[in-house]
Amino acid sequence: MKFTLWLILALGPLAALHAENWPMWRGANGDGTSAESKLPEKWSQTENVVWKVELPERGNSTPVVWGDKVLVTQAIEKEGKRLLLCFDKKTGKQLWEAGTIYREPELTHATNPYCAASPATDGERVIVYFASAGVFCYDMNGKEVWKRTDLGKQHHIWGNGTSPVLAGDRVFLNFGPGENTVLYCFDKKTGKTIWQHKEPGGASGEGADKKWLGSWSDPLLRKTGARYELLMSYPRRACAFDPLTGKELWTSGGLTDLVYNSPLFADGVMIAMSGYGGAALAVKTGGDGDVTEKNRVWQLPKVSQRIGSGVVHDGYHYILSDGGIAECRDLKTGAMVFQERLKGNNWSSLVLSADGKCYAANQIGDCFVFKASPKFELLATNALGEKIIGSIAVSDGQLFIRGYKHLWCIGNK
């Protein structure tokens, strides 16, 4: 049985053979990279808009795409609805909705509406995380397959936002932040728990002392050396787990109390960054036990505030800070290569095309395209005229962007 599961996981990131799909928040590879090139560079509210459809309320999640379907999570706050919406990829017509109703009080921030987590799909089922309401699985027609409503409540002053990660026959989920912080591995067909790792939580930010900690990071599955590791960033540490058993393989100190973005991996090295002016680090994977002293490549005690995650290209790490500054760092040393101010504030994560272009959106609806190069070159600024928190999804040469008012499909015409 173990050997069979190992072979399934050894197939690598989900949908690696289906570059036309964008099955999870950060794409098929889990790191914001797309196998597509010659994507649209310029658009407006009318130019290169294939379709746009009005959404019922605001939302921070990113759409996912599989085949002829676009899927996005949506809350109807006053009604307590936690929904998954499905749209026709060619026309934008809504095909169906599925979901649940959850009316119990759930702590979040005014900037983070419910249903902030993005869906994940393998083309047969769609997994959605509705925070305290539970984890739900639907088929591609919106029929409920299984649900887990027994996981407990989420409780943090800034709410939640982690998304399911699919690999082989498994669903990995960082259920947190707050006191109830657990890394789960579910069977994607049944929803049964295969293993779980309980992480110390707490400090939700409600007290007078304003103490808080938490991780909004999604795990990243990578092969390093002869084994697979599930890479994770938590308050004050980066670490890795055996994806088959949940055993912790190694840990490295060097992060700080709040971790908003997800880890990246390149050339045997994991890159992890804290938010809220916290620390960042790079650490060699493949170790055992506490590897802080022997495997940590570099550590920066303070970096700029960032919510979104970055991308890696040809030895450089690219990310947008919360303040809308594009940053490039040398992966070997952590040294800053450039800092270039763009318009507005940004929570969107970067997407990298196969021909080396970075895509992201800011909170006032401007979408940026710039080269993934140590010499900064802004290629375009494209205004959609509405608030955007989520990231851009890529499928079949088109871009799918969720704003606070509309779901947009952008394509070269």
Q: For 90-127, what is each residue's pLDDT tens digit?
A: 999 999 999 999 999 899 999 999 999 999 999 999 99
What percent of the chain has pLDDT above 70?
95
49/30 Cα distance (integer angstroms)? 27
Mean pLDDT of 190-213: 85
Q: For 93-103, what is each residue's pLDDT tens digit?
A: 999 999 999 99
Range of weakest confidence among 15-29, 280-294, 313-327: 15-29
Count up the domains in the chain and report the number: 1
**The tokens 């026709």 sit on which residue?**
88
The pLDDT score that the predictor gives to residue 409 is: 98
Q: Confidence band (pLDDT; 50, 70, 90) for 413?
A: confident
The pLDDT score that the predictor gives to residue 19 is: 53
**The tokens 């015409």 sit on which residue?**
413
Mean pLDDT of 264-280: 95
Q: Report residue 239 CA to chain centroid gap.
A: 18
C-alpha pair distances (Å), 264 with each of 32, 33, 130, 159:
9, 11, 25, 23
On average, the pLDDT of the chain sits at 93
The pLDDT score that the predictor gives to residue 11 is: 42
Mean pLDDT of 243-248: 98
Q: Confidence band (pLDDT; 50, 70, 90) for 15?
A: very low
Q: Confidence band (pLDDT; 50, 70, 90) for 390?
A: very high
The dihedrals phi and psi of 261, each to the nearest 5 degrees, come to -105, 175
Q: For 327-374, what is each residue's pLDDT tens digit?
A: 999 999 999 999 999 988 899 999 999 999 999 999 999 999 999 999
285/288 Cα distance (integer angstroms)? 9
The pLDDT score that the predictor gives to residue 62 is: 98
For residue 87, the domain's CATH number is 2.130.10.10
Q: For 319-336, what is each residue's pLDDT tens digit?
A: 999 989 999 999 999 999
Q: Confidence band (pLDDT; 50, 70, 90) for 1?
A: very low
Mean pLDDT of 261-272: 97
Q: Confidence band (pLDDT; 50, 70, 90) for 4?
A: very low
Q: Confidence band (pLDDT; 50, 70, 90) for 212?
A: confident
Q: Is the pLDDT of residue 302 over 80?
A: yes
226-230 contacts: CB < 8 A, separation 24 or more?
227/286, 228/9, 228/10, 229/285, 229/286, 230/172
| Residue range(s) defining the domain that contains residue 72 | 2-411
The answer to whether 120 and 127 have CB atoms below 8 angstroms apart is yes
- Residue 188, CB half-sphere, CA atoms under 13 Å: how many? 24
Range of weakest confidence among 9-18, 156-165, 208-217, 394-403: 9-18
